[in-house]
């Protein structure tokens, strides 16, 4: 009598492993994509807070309590050397020189912002151009346009 001592995997077992690996890889890819998207949104919000702090310094430097200012533009902050050129986290490009972003003041305190990237903005709702308050900034406040 001949004994069958061959060891190995059947074709069905190999296919099952390949299918399971494929499912795990697709779930992992979706999780990575979601994480990258959230990181880009967080970087955009961080740009808004950077502009807020730069606007606060601008207000102190220019003593806007004596000569009131309603808003300070991204270009003003850039010209004063209070911010470095910002990079759009969604495209990787540096903000254009004519970027219309601005910070709005109430007295000497920056209270709201309109921040524009190439394809996204933080400025009110989809249809409105009202500045977003710093208290309300979140990933939900970023809208594509």
16-62 tens-digit pLDDT = 999 999 999 999 999 999 999 999 999 999 999 999 999 999 998 88
Six token digits for residue 43: 């970087």
Q: What is the DSSP code string of 52-75?
A: HHHHHHHHHHTTTTTS--SEEEHH
State the residue for tokens 């900034």.
137
Token pair recorded at residue 111: 């209270």
Strand 71-73 vs strand 132-133: parallel, antiparallel, or unpaired?
unpaired
Q: Please, what's the b/e burial string for 73-103 (b: 16 or more CB within 10 A of its CB; e: otherwise)?
A: bbbbbbeeebbeebebbbeeeebeeebebbb
Pull the structure tokens for residue 127. Answer: 């249809």
Query: If you ran DSSP here, which 8-state letter would residue 131 be given?
Result: P
The pTM (predicted TM-score) of the whole model is 0.80
**Residue 40: how many other CB atoms lie within 10 Å:** 19
Q: What percentage of residues in the chain have a pLDDT greater than 90?
A: 68
């Amino acid at each position: 009598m001949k004994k069958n001592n061959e060891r190995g995997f059947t074709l069905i077992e190999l296919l099952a492993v390949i299918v399971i690996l494929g499912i795990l890889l697709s779930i992992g890819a979706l999780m990575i994509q979601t994480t990258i998207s959230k990181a880009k949104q967080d970087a955009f919000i961080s740009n808004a807070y950077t502009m807020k702090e730069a606007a606060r310094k601008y207000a102190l430097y220019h003593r806007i309590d004596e000569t009131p200012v309603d808003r300070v533009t991204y270009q003003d902050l850039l010209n004063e050397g209070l911010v470095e050129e910002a990079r759009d986290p969604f495209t990787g490009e540096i903000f254009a020189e004519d970027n219309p972003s601005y910070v709005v003041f109430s007295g000497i305190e920056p209270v709201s912002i309109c921040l524009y990237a190439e394809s996204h903005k933080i400025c009110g709702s989809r249809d409105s151009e009202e500045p977003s308050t710093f208290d309300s900034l979140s990933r939900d406040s970023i809208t594509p346009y």
